[in-house]
Structure 1
Amino acid sequence: MVDLEETFGTDGDAAWIAVAVVLFACLGGAVVLAEWPLFGVPPDTSGEPQLVEPSDGGTGLWPYTSRTRSYEGRTLGINMVFYDSPEEVRTTLTERSARGWTDDPTDGGEADAETVSAERVEIDPEAEAIDEVIRWDEAKGATRYTYFETDDGGVWVDESYQLHAGTYLGKRSHIRAYDEPAGEWTAVQIHEEHWDWFRLRHTVTGISEPQGELEREFMDDGAEQRVVRMPFGNGTADGDGWASGIYLTGAVVPILLFGLVGPTRTLSRGISGFLDRRRRELALGAGLFGLYTAVRWLGIGGEALLSVPPKVVAGPLYVALVVGIPAVAYRFGRASDRTWAFALAVLGLGTAIVVDFAAMGVAVLPLRIVLHRGTVLLAAGLIAVGGSIRADRPDHPVPLVFGLAGWVFVIAASLFGYV
């Protein structure tokens, strides 16, 4: 019978010290690559930032949002402009039926040079049709500013309103709208984000996909309106620097069974023996997977069912996460094989993180987030190893010390915005 463990034996603390070194190296990389909390993205060029004019001869717009009333706090690029009165734009987004639109096809006139065609927007002909408009609700989020320049001078303004589609503690598309001072158009920054339980804030995953979805919604609508693309040159995140201008008017792989009866029976006995010997380590992995997954979905459920602010729901769940993960790793790591404890802790928690990102629709991650999550896995694995060693001797094992220290630094770095 094949021994599934024969290649995994290791003794001494040297290997775990090496893992600890990797842990802190990953954490250091994540912090170095982070957008630090007191600063934004520095401007690419010196001097006065370039303004754009969404309408000829009209108000100038700095095509970004900012954490502060300054260019140095720059965050994401403005990627949509709606042309109509502020009231009409807001009504269009939140109460589409109030406009009395019909399903009649639009008049087949000639498009100007910037009118968006299906090819330019890169619509997937095999994608599902958008049968329903996106439902936008009032939203809360951090204040972001942008800058307008009129004949009377420049002014920094915060968002006129915020909207979202999705859940606060899950994933959502998020809009910040800025009404132009003269009331002729509204600048919009739309992005996709998900709630990050380690950072206790939202992490932006992209701006191009939600922009394209909202753009296609207006292209597919029956109302007479025009959709254009404008070169703002403000590419941020995955954006290409082109803003959308909206002019309003009213199988499972089969398993081969033949020829495998004998080897399958042998493999089955090997797996059965492994499961029997490694019950505790498997419980460790399952416990970490279940805890991480439960926090996400309890948060989404609590947000939907309880009439309290989302952060009130998030508070106790965050405590459960940051205390529960090391507690589960240490408790189930005791009396376990140290190598298998490390492997199953990393596997269980790592699988939960990957599944969570998939459920939130995250396809691309910044390198700093990848390094941070890798550090989380190494810290949990070292704590599990420390629990295993502690069961045999009363002192403080090196893996446990490094694991707990790493966990504290991981949580602190993410909580205070250094990741």
Structure 2
Amino acid sequence: MRRSIVVGIALLAVAVLFIGGPSLLFSPSTDEITPEETDEPEPEIVTLEDSESGFWPYLNAREHHEQRSPLNVVVRGDLDRIVSLLATHGDGDWEETDHDHFEADELLELPNNESTTGMDPETDPTEADNTTADAIRPIEPTAIPWSDADGATRYAYLEPGPDDDAFWTTETLQLEDGEYYGYRYHIRAYESPNPDDQWVVMQTHSEHFDWFTLRHRVDGVEQAQARLEADLMEIPGVDIQEDVQRIYLDNSGPSDADGWATKIDLTAMALVPIALSLATKRRRKAHSEPGGILQRAGGEIDAYLTDSDQERLRAVADRLEARHLVLAATILTVILGVRIVGVALDRTAGFLTVHMIAALLYPVIAVGLPVATYAIANGLERRVDAAVAASVSLAVAIWLDYSLLGVDVIPIDVIVQRALVVVALGFIAGGAANRATRGSRLNDMLLVGVSLWGLVLVGTLFGYL
């Protein structure tokens, strides 16, 4: 029992050091990513010059005036022309979306009375519009429960004119640039209810798929807004001085929204034929530091270590064996492999829906990872060594996954969930070690690890974490 307590303390230290520490240092605080809870405001309609129609500068998952998801791009022009120009100019591979999906877990949207660690938005699923061309792919993110959500939407509040009643409407279309099971930019576009006014208002954000929660996590709006703005300015004929400006919509607060929207006028441009790309590509460049930095850092650390510290480190190194490396490599392969295979299947296996891909790959993490960890750790002698090796490997795999995706915003609920799965996997590995299984294979560490692993994943799927 005493050894189990020691292992538990070691695992908590690993979770705090490798999950909580980097998260607190490098991620925004919850105040920066969580919208303030407010009563339903009186909607203030935004109108553009030479336009009778207008819009309320927020989107919602239901038909209520709650300041949730801020609109951040306004384009003057015909929607078909805008889609065509985005497809043929700029650096993005924007595609329209039409396949089934689940709801997103968005930082920009929190239901009323939800804590900062509960990120499940209230949803009002509707059937997706499947009338678009086969070249069009989805961008709408996924969430739980799978089987109940054939499509999800966001409502915009539009006013045709001062003499007409305003109404709620769903998006005209959605666009994506990126990978469904990786990282992507997402646009929801809403066309003016008055055809003579020729404007389209958009909400764009960046998001990534989280395999541990089976949700898309919205990372923010600022980067996506800048990306879309840059793509629109790449269109030939756009005069940056005359056609591009920032307008203040006073809708700051959710996520990193600052209340300023990009406004671009394309009404004077010639129509460009629509030529949507057939393949979704992600053009994010991975930034890596040269290996020499690690060597220099190691030399600086050695300068601060005493002889006894170095002796302890050598003792730990002497206890390492091939099975530790196999355990680490297996955990890294499972986490990063599921990400890569998910993206590959979404690209190439057109006969598989996103639900099918998730159903195929999620068990690899939920069941395969702890089973493989137990099988490999069963050949290790020391409980602490096995537990620390597994938990550190999982923490490293999680951060490598985030690094490859380019994610730099991690909400509190995700930090807690990741810390718990790191601790759980460590207990499973520790409970599989030879010294733990001498009395019985169903020892206390294994039971705690399996129970914690199951409770965390089930609690996450049902929205409790």
Same fold (TM over 0.5): yes
**RMSD over equivalenced CA pairs, Å:** 3.4
1:134 aligned residue? 92
Q: What is the identity, as a one-letter code, of the residue corresponding to 1:136?
A: W
CA distance in 1, matches of 2:81, 2:75: 10
Q: Secondary structure at the match of 2:291?
A: coil
1:59 lines up with 2:53 in the alignment: yes
* Matching residue's letter, 2:291: V
What is the 5 A alignment of 1:45-84? 45-55=39-49, 58-72=52-66, 75-84=68-77
Query: Aligned ranges for residues 196-211 of structure 1 at < 5 Å?
Result: 196-211=210-225
SS of the equivalent of 1:224 reads coil
Residues 403 and 22 of structure 1: is their aligned pair in 2 closer, same or farther, counting only changes over 3 Å?
farther
Deviation at residue 218 of structure 1 after TM alignment: 2.8
CA distance in 2, matches of 1:277, 1:356: 25
Q: 1:386 to 1:167 in 2, by over 3 A?
A: same
Q: Distance in 1 between matches of 2:315 and 2:440?
A: 33
The amino acid that maps onto 1:80 is V
The answer to whether 1:301 aligns with 2:356 is: no
Once residues 210 and 202 of structure 1 are traced to their aligned partners in structure 2, the CA distance between those partners, rounded to angstroms, is 15
* Pick aligned residue for 1:344 from 373, 376, 389: 389
Matched, 1:252 2:270: no
CA–CA separation in structure 2 for the residues paired with 1:170 and 1:376: 21
What CA deviation, in whole Å up to 9, does each residue of 1:1-31 have, x standing for no partner? xxxxxxxxx952223455788999999xxxx
Mapping 1:216-227, distance limit 5 Å: 216-225=230-239, 226-227=243-244
- The alpha carbon displacement at 1:276 in A equals 7.1
What is the deviation of 1:95? 4.3
Match of 2:170 among 158, 169, 186: 158
Code of the residue aligned with 2:257 in structure 1: it is G
Identify which of 359, 362, 365 aligns with 2:410.
365
From 175, 178, 183, give the equivalent of 1:171.
183
- Contact 1:80/1:211, CA 8 A, preserved across alignment: yes
Determine what percentage of the aligned residue pairs are the same residue: 29
Map of 1:101 onto structure 2: none
User: Does the C-alpha gap of structure 1 residues 303 and 376 become closer, same or farther in structure 2, counting only changes over 3 Å?
Assistant: same
- The corresponding residue for 2:38 is 44
Unaligned runs of 5+ in 1: 1-9, 28-32, 35-39, 97-131, 261-266
- Residue 90 (1) aligns with residue 83 (2): yes
| Alignment-mate amino acid for residue 252 of structure 1 | G
Change in Cα spacing, 1:284 to 1:59, as seen in structure 2 (3 Å) is same
Matches within 5 A, 1:366-381: 366-381=411-426
Q: Distance in 2 between matches of 1:418 and 1:55?
A: 47
Amino acid at match of 2:251: N
- The residue identity in structure 1 corresponding to 2:179 is T
| 1:192 positional shift | 0.7
Map of 2:283 onto structure 1: none
C-alpha separation in 2, matches of 1:23 and 1:400:
18
CA shift for structure 1 position 354: 0.7
For residues 385 and 160 of structure 1, the distance between their equivalents in structure 2, rounded to whole angstroms, comes to 53
Cα gap change, 1:20 to 1:288, in 2 (>3 Å): closer
SS at match of 2:91: coil
How far residue 52 of structure 1 moved from its aligned partner, in angstroms, is 2.5
Decide which of 125, 130, 153 is 1:143's aligned counterpart.
153
* TM-fit CA distance, 1:290: 1.0
Instruction: Report the structure number with the largest CA radius of gyration.
Output: 1
| CA gap 1:304/1:271 in 2 versus in 1, 3 angstroms | farther
Alpha-carbon distance in 2 for matches of 1:186, 1:205: 24
Q: Work out the CA distance in 2 between the residues paired with 1:192 and 1:156.
A: 25
2-structure distance, mates of 1:409, 1:50 = 45
**Kindly tell me: are residues 374 and 56 of structure 1, through their superposed partners in 2, closer, same or farther at Cα, counting changes over 3 Å?**
farther
In the TM superposition, what is the alpha-carbon distance from 1:272 to its structure 2 partner? 11
Q: Deviations over 1:89-113 (max 9, x none)?
A: 23222345xxxxxxxxxxxxxxxxx
- The alpha-carbon deviation at position 329 of structure 1 amounts to 2.2
2:390 partner letter: A
Deviations along 1:158-192, one digit per CA (max 9) or x if unpaired, are 11111111111111111111112113211111111
Question: 1:292·1:321 contact (CA, 8 Å) conserved in 2?
Answer: yes
Q: What TM-score do the two structures reach when normalised by structure 1?
A: 0.75
In 2, Cα distance between equivalents of 1:418 and 1:62: 32
Residue 413 and residue 20 in structure 1: after superposition, are their counterparts in 2 closer, same or farther (change >3 A)?
Answer: farther
**Aligned letter for 1:338?**
R
Which stretch shifts more, 85-94 or 336-345?
85-94
Is this contact kept in 1: 2:85–2:235, CA < 8 A?
Answer: no
**Residues of 2 paired with 1:352 and 1:284: CA distance?**
12
Question: Is there any run of 5+ residues in structure 2 with no aligned partner, and where?
Answer: 21-28, 98-137, 141-151, 270-289, 303-309
Going from structure 1 to structure 2, the CA distance change for 1:161 and 1:276 (only over 3 Å counts) comes to same
Q: Distance in 2 between matches of 1:172 and 1:400?
A: 38
Number of residues of Structure 1 aligned to a counterpart in Structure 2: 356
Over 3 Å counting, the alpha-carbon distance change for 1:382 and 1:147 in structure 2 is same
Query: In structure 2, which of residues 353, 359, 367 is the aligned counterpart of residue 315 of structure 1?
Result: 359
Hey, what does 1:386 align to over in structure 2?
431
Q: Which amino acid aligns with 1:253?
A: G
Q: Is the 8 A contact 1:349 1:377 kept in 2?
A: yes
SS at match of 1:188: strand
- Match of 1:58, SS state, is coil
Report which stretch shifted further, 282-291 or 239-248.
282-291
Aligned residues of 1:195 and 1:202 also touching (Cα < 8 A) = yes
Contact kept? 1:43, 1:71, Cα under 8 Å:
no
Which one of the candidate residues 182, 186, 204 is aligned to 2:194?
A: 182
